Amino acid sequence: MTSPESDLAGYEVLACVCGGIAAYKVCEVVSKLVQRGAGVTVAMTKAARKFVTPLTFQAISGRPVLTNLWKTGGAADIQHIDLTTRADLLLVAPATANTIGKIAAGLADEVVTILVISADSPVMLAPAMNDRMWKNAAVQRNMATLRRDGFHIVGPAEGWLACRSVGPGRMVDAAELVEAMVVQLKTRPPKSKH
C-alpha cells in the first residue's frame, strides 16, 4: 500500500507561475506535491519573478527553475518540449487575465505560454485577479474558449482580494488546488511507468 506521503511518486508536474500576488500560494502547492512524491519543475513569467524569486521555487522543488527559453546550456537549454512530453499535468497558477488571454488566443511569446501551447498532458488553470477583471466580458469569453478547448479550471474563489475588495477572483487555497491536481493525476498512471 502506498503511503499518503508518497502517493504521487512517479508523477511529473510542470508548475507555470504567472505574475500575480497569489504566486506565493504556488510555493505551498509545489511543496505539498513534492512532499507527496511528485517531481515538480517550475517555470516563471518575468512578472511572476516580481512576486517570488526563482531561488524560492528551486529550494522547494529541488530543481532548476525555467525562466528563459533563450538561455543555453543546463536545464533551460531548449528542453521545454522534453519537459512537456514528460509532464503528467501542467498547472498555470495564478492564471492571470493576461496569461488567460494569451493562451485562449494561442499566443506563445514567453516561457509559460510556450509550455502551455506545447503541452502533452492535461492543463489546469487556477485563475486569480481583481473581481472586476474576472467579470470582464473579454476574460469570460477567454475562459469559455479554454473550457471548450478542454482546459481544467479550478476557481476562482470569492473572498478578500489584494485590491482591498471582496468578490470573485481569489485563487483557491493551496490545499484545494493540490487535491484537484491529485484527482486529475490519478486518472492515469504516471508517464514514467509507460
**Residues with Cβ < 8 Å from 130, sequence gap 6 or more?**
161, 163, 165, 169
Biggest CA–CA distance in the chain, Å, is 48
Residue 85's H or E segment, with its range, is helix 80-86
Cis status, amide bond into 94, omega within 30 of 0: yes
**Residues with Cβ < 8 Å from 150, sequence gap 6 or more?**
122
Is 92 within 8 Å of 126 (Cβ atoms)? yes
CA 154 to CA 98: how far, in whole Å?
17
Residue type, 182: V
The catalytically annotated residue of 16, 18, 27, 163 is: 163
Strands 89-95, 39-44: pairing kind: unpaired
Tell me which residue has cell 511507468.
Answer: 193
**Is 18 marked active-site?**
no
| Residues recognised as catalytic | 163
